[in-house]
């Protein structure tokens, strides 16, 4: 086994909604499972966790335990996958609040998401919102000095795509989520050399 394939990067997932069974949470979980299949270690911050983060206030430097846990895990990450629902054509406040908290990484040796691939996933009940949300996510990742993967998944959830167990029932969407995950894992391995 080569060093490239034996390195197990840590991929951190961020995203979801306040509903634990949302399409966004399920898409993020599917992408993290694909990252594990590609040999990565994963850790996910779903909507249930993100909903307990206080509103980011740049003037307030005090952080609670959940905020510190979140920032520290992203600090350790070799790659990140972000999934957001499309709310009125943009990123949800829940996901944006979590990403705003990464301001705490500003003074790090690797500031913000510098040197890390970030896979972007957008879910929405329509193509227009899914596309504009994906574009917004990619812009946020650029602003945080991350490397958006060449492929981002825009998922139209107007029709059910997950079964009662949370498994994706559409092979094309499952492959899109796996492609996002593989690109994050591959970039993390390349950057590790």
Q: What percent of the chain stands above pLDDT 90? A: 88
Place of tokens 């951190």: 12
pLDDT on residue 86: 95
| Number of separate domains in the chain | 1
pLDDT on residue 1: 46
Digit-coded pLDDT (tens) for 9-21: 999 999 999 987 8
| Pairing mode, strands 147-148 and 153-156 | unpaired
User: The pTM is what?
Assistant: 0.95
Q: Which residues, given as ranges, of the chain have pLDDT below 70?
A: 1-5, 193
CATH code where residue 98 lies? 3.40.50.360
pLDDT on residue 56: 93
Domain limits for position 76: 3-192
pLDDT on residue 20: 72
pLDDT on residue 6: 83
Kindly compute the dihedral angle of the four CA atoms of residues 128, 134, 136, 142, in this order, to the nearest 10 degrees. Answer: -160
Residue 185, judged by CB atoms within 10 A of its CB (0-12, 13-18, 19+), counts as: buried
Three-state helix/strand/coil letters over 76-132:
HCCEEEEEEEEECCEECHHHHHHHHHHHHHCCCCCCCCCCCEEEEEEEECCHHHHHH
């Amino acid at each position: 086994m080569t060093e490239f394939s034996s390195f197990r990067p840590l991929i951190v997932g961020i995203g979801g909604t306040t509903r634990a069974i949302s399409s966004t949470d399920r898409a993020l979980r599917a992408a993290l499972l694909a990252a594990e299949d590609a040999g990565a270690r994963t850790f996910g911050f779903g909507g249930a966790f993100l909903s307990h983060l206080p509103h980011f206030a740049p003037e307030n430097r005090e952080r609670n335990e959940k905020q510190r846990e979140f920032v520290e895990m992203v600090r350790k990450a070799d790659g990140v996958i972000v999934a957001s629902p499309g709310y009125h054509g943009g990123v949800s406040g829940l996901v944006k609040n979590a990403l705003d908290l990464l301001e705490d990484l500003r003074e790090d040796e690797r500031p913000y998401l510098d040197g890390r691939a970030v896979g972007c996933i957008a879910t929405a009940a329509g193509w227009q919102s899914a596309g504009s949300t994906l574009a917004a996510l990619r812009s946020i990742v650029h602003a945080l000095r991350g490397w958006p993967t060449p492929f981002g998944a825009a998922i139209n959830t107007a029709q059910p795509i997950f079964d009662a167990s949370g498994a994706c029932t559409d092979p094309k969407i499952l492959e899109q989520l796996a492609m996002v995950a593989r690109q994050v894992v591959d970039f993390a391995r390349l950057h590790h050399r």
